[in-house]
Amino acid sequence: MTKETYKADVNRKTIKEKVNKVQEVKTEMKKYKTTALIDLRKLSDSLFQAMRKKIRQNGGKVLVLKKPVIQRVLEGDKKIAQLATECDKPVALILTNISPFELNRFFKENKKKRPAKTGEIAPFDIVVPEGETDLPPGPALSELKGAGINVQIKAGKIVVAKESTVAKTGEALTDLKTKALQKLNVKPFEISVKLIAGYDQEYIYNAELLNIDETLNAEITKSLNDAFNLSINAQYPTKQNVDILLRDAYRQAINVSLNGNLYSSNTIEQLLVLASRQGTALGTLGK
């Protein structure tokens, strides 16, 4: 008994629609400098829609496609076929004319604050600052105290009397603590679009590479400072240090001239002043 191979009926309406959509997207991709893939998990609809609107306003497109369609789109291009493995989760395709690095920076600059959720692990100390609230006296007072917040009643309102740590780093947030934070409108977490990878028609840049600027600037600055100090100490002239080296050399030359009583247009005034002082001092001794 032979095993039959199943073949999709390409004439079926749904199959035709998928094939046409794949071809349509592949054609669109050729019109843009950058193709990027973003992760839709944990992304709020409000932030997604706001981001989508801004990208459209800048001439780009955000495509939310069915998994088989986006997989075939990516697999259809050998240069980005490896990204098809990312389609095991909800993703969207972005077409734009800005570079992957600029797109990633755009996402970072458009973060949104969000409330804490019960069961979440605090990635840092969650602190409620000292100050007034809009909450009137009542059940809220005991609820806030139960969450570890130092609150009092002043002038008919609840106030945070002292900066209070609601959760330490690594601590799981309880329902009581998340409700207290919500009452105070404290949104300790940030949500942003997660860029999986970007392709600029030549190279694929993954998230790790796109985020390298977070540490690169500090490292470059330190290296430049070290190199500058080394060149000064070694008295090795460069475009960056030549002014400092020349000023230092000038000061040293003046000191040598003064100490050696060597007359020049730059030292004669100081030598004459020094000679006058010495003469005055000698005249005082002779009296």
| Residue-range domains of the chain with CATH | 13-111+192-211 (3.30.70.1730), 126-188 (3.90.105.20), 221-282 (no CATH)
Q: What is the mean pLDDT of residues 74-86?
A: 91
Report the predicted TM-score, pTM, of the whole model to 2 decimal places.
0.60
∠ Cα 147 153 154 (to 5°) = 140
Task: Please give the Cα distance from 124 to 279 (Å, whole number).
Answer: 73
- Integer Cα distance of 247 and 241 in angstroms: 10
**Rounded Cα gap, residues 86 and 101, in angstroms:** 20
pLDDT digits (tens, 9 = 90+) for 140-149: 888 899 989 9
Cα distance between residue 167 and residue 125, in whole Å:
6
Residue 3: the pLDDT is 47
DSSP helix, strand, coil percent of the chain (3-state; round to 5): 45, 15, 35
> What's the confidence (pLDDT) of residue 219?
60
Average pLDDT, the chain: 84
Q: What is the pLDDT of residue 254?
A: 77
- Give the pLDDT band of residue 6 (cuts 50, 70, 90): very low
Give the pair of three-digit tokens for residue 128. Answer: 């409620």
Distance CA 205, CA 197 (A): 5
